[in-house]
Amino acid sequence: MFGSVKEVFQYIQANDIAQIDVKVGDLQGRWRRMTYSAANVTERLFEEGTGISLSPYPGLRTVEQGDMMVRPDISTGFVDPFHARPTLAFICDMYDNDGNRYVRDPRYVCQQAEAHLAEMKLGGHALFSPEMEFYVLDGADYGSSAGAAYYAVESHGVGWGESEEPLYRLTGFEKCGQVDAPLDRHAEVREEMVRFIEEAGVKVKYQHQELGTPGQVEIEVLFGTPVRSADDMMIMKYMIKNAAIAQGKIVTFMPKPFYGHAGNGIHFHQYLSDGERSLFYGEDGYAKLNQLAHHYLCGILEHTPALMGIGNASTNSYRRFAPNLAAPIKLFFGLSNRSSALRIPAYALNEREARVEFRMPDATANPYLIIAAQLMAGIDGIKRQLDPSALGYGPLDVNAYALPEVEQAKLKSVPTSFAHALLALEQDRAFLTKGGVFADELIDAYLKHKRTAELDAVHVRPHPYEYELYFDL
């Protein structure tokens, strides 16, 4: 939005900005913030940064070493519409107190991945476009204690939590998925979400209702560089959640919030570009992809188990992965094949758009870390000249779910639990640490937090369905 600090202050004065919001992304992908009175802000905030304590942020700093510096990136400025007073917001970079970049800053990791690609001198840069899926709901109540564990969700379209019978009740997948009014109950909510997203400078490609009957939605944005795409994802989640609340709704990005209904994923379209054409395009190759593209996608497939430790970053993530649930469970690629972990979009088989789509991740991932990790996996495939056919990754043009069990068993599978994915990340991290992109201390801190604060915490608690199975034995 801004090219100089001078432009920032001109905008503040011209638009009566009352507050400056500085936003910092933590290891889990949540924004933290401090808000300054614009009247008292000087150039020093943008040129030198400001002090902040990171000790409350899991995986970053402990209380005895919590002081850090953060510096707003002026190019990320946007007006935050969800404040009572006019507020200008900026995404920040983290610095140690000695002035060096903080190696556990997820945004720094993504910046380093971009720089690592540039060092390869392939003649292009990386572009990413995420498809974000989520549910729009009418309410939710949940809790967990020694004597109770429960959740209850309101979705009026399917009659959950509503006293009166809805005029049109959605009962199955056949009535969902890009339906029109009146069955499309959330068109106006989506339009408001898109309005806020676009006013913040994020370019939306399209939006529509998805397959999940209780109110699933998808919004896809246009391609951007890795850091810009991760910034856009952070902005999108913020705008989506707050726009829903303004409309009397709530939103969840949980990968599998409901039994028997579609899960939420994030499909990452990606390719290398010279600014005019895709460096993945090959006129005579399978799905119009050249050898460079095959090396890149093979790197992603080869490292998918480790990538899932970052990109499917919750115990709930692995409830998406079961046969016939539209989430891939086998490691191969194919043209227009939605049962594959990596799909080649059939509508992009041209010199300008040739690309691949990684279908595994979900919104529990930190956007900066998962985008950087995918890029590093692709780079590793290019450096090692990995061949997907030789390694058993296809291409395949069949529905993997419909194959006989003996044939399915021949295909490599994705991790079936968060514990397995974290172990894969721990053991297969060398591709991430090359060039100093991911610091070992970052990966170690991430693994420790995920295992102790999430995996172990869930493991020791009884599941509500266990009561139905075992209580009366």
178 and 221 co-located in one domain: yes
301 and 267 co-located in one domain: yes
Q: Are 334 and 343 in contact (CB under 8 A)?
A: yes
Tokens of residue 24, six digits:
């910092």
397 band by pLDDT with thresholds 50, 70 and 90: very high
Q: Are 93 and 50 in contact (CB under 8 A)?
A: no
Tokens 């959330």 belong to residue? 186
Instruction: Give me the pLDDT at residue 284, please.
Output: 93
Where a domain ends, among 57, 75, 102? Answer: 102
Instruction: Give me the pLDDT at residue 164, please.
Output: 61
Instruction: Give me the pLDDT at residue 389, please.
Output: 96
CA 278-127-178 angle, to 5 degrees, is 95
Q: Are 233 and 369 in contact (CB under 8 A)?
A: no
380 and 424 co-located in one domain: yes
Residue 57 or residue 455, greater confidence:
455
Instruction: Give me the pLDDT at residue 380, please.
Output: 98
Q: 73-92 pLDDT, tens per residue?
A: 999 999 999 999 999 999 99
Structural domain contains residue 78:
yes
Q: Are 264 and 254 in contact (CB under 8 A)?
A: yes
256 and 363 co-located in one domain: yes
172 band by pLDDT with thresholds 50, 70 and 90: low
Structural domain contains residue 335:
yes
Structural domain contains residue 107:
no
55 band by pLDDT with thresholds 50, 70 and 90: low
Least confident of 46-55, 394-403, 429-438: 46-55
Where a domain ends, among 54, 71, 102? Answer: 102
155 and 292 co-located in one domain: yes
* Cβ-defined contacts of 401-407 (< 8 Å, 24+): 401/323, 401/324, 401/339
State the average pLDDT over residues 156-165.
Answer: 75
* Cβ-defined contacts of 196-205 (< 8 Å, 24+): 196/81, 196/239, 196/242, 196/243, 197/221, 197/235, 197/236, 197/239, 197/240, 199/78, 199/79, 199/81, 200/78, 200/79, 200/235, 200/239, 201/1, 201/78, 201/235, 202/232, 202/235, 202/236, 205/129
| pLDDT of 373 higher than 70 | yes
State the average pLDDT over residues 164-171.
Answer: 61
Please, which residues have CB within 8 angstroms of residue 275's CB and are 6 or more apart in sequence? 124, 125
**CATH code, domain with 88:** 3.10.20.70
181 and 256 co-located in one domain: yes
Indicate whether this model's pTM tops 0.85: yes
- Write out the E strands in 13-118: 19-25, 31-37, 50-53, 67-72, 78-80, 87-95
386 and 433 co-located in one domain: yes
75 and 173 co-located in one domain: no
Instruction: Give me the pLDDT at residue 63, please.
Output: 47
Q: Are 296 and 302 in contact (CB under 8 A)?
A: no
Structural domain contains residue 111:
no
Spatial distance between the Cα atoms of 264 and 262, rounded to a whole number of angstroms: 7
Q: 314-367 pLDDT, tens per residue?
A: 999 999 987 666 689 999 999 999 899 999 999 999 999 999 999 999 999 999
Amino acid residing at 449: H
Instruction: Give me the pLDDT at residue 54, please.
Output: 64
**CATH code, domain with 237:** 3.30.590.10
| pLDDT of 100 higher than 70 | yes
Q: 198-210 pLDDT, tens per residue?
A: 999 999 999 988 8
Where a domain ends, among 53, 72, 102? Answer: 102
Average model confidence (pLDDT) across the chain: 92
Amino acid residing at 292: L
Least confident of 150-154, 197-201, 448-452: 150-154
Spatial distance between the Cα atoms of 405 and 245, rounded to a whole number of angstroms: 46
Q: Report whether the peptide linkage leading into residue 182 is cis, meaning its omega lies within 30 degrees of zero.
A: yes
72 and 129 co-located in one domain: no
| pLDDT of 184 higher than 80 | no
Q: 402-427 pLDDT, tens per residue?
A: 889 899 889 999 999 999 999 999 99
The most distant pair of C-alpha atoms in the chain lies apart, rounded to whole Å, by 72
Structural domain contains residue 108:
no
Based on the structure, what is the number of domains in the chain?
2
78 and 137 co-located in one domain: no
Tokens of residue 385, six digits:
């000249």
Q: How many CB atoms lie within 10 A of CB 207?
A: 18
Q: 239-284 pLDDT, tens per residue?
A: 999 999 999 999 999 999 999 888 999 999 999 999 999 999 999 9
Angle at which helices 106-119 and 226-246 cross, to 10°:
150
Least confident of 30-44, 155-169, 373-387, 388-402: 155-169
Instruction: Give me the pLDDT at residue 195, please.
Output: 97
384 and 415 co-located in one domain: yes
State the average pLDDT over residues 138-155.
Answer: 92
State the average pLDDT over residues 216-220.
Answer: 94
Structural domain contains residue 421:
yes
Structural domain boundaries, residue 12: 5-102
| pLDDT of 379 higher than 50 | yes
State the average pLDDT over residues 39-62.
Answer: 82
Structural domain contains residue 184:
yes
Tokens of residue 376, six digits:
């590093």
Instruction: Give me the pLDDT at residue 169, please.
Output: 63
Structural domain contains residue 439:
yes
Q: How many CB atoms lie within 10 A of CB 28?
A: 20
| pLDDT of 65 higher than 90 | no
Instruction: Give me the pLDDT at residue 434, please.
Output: 97
Angle at which helices 187-199 and 226-246 cross, to 10°:
130
Spatial distance between the Cα atoms of 273 and 126, rounded to a whole number of angstroms: 6
97 and 218 co-located in one domain: no
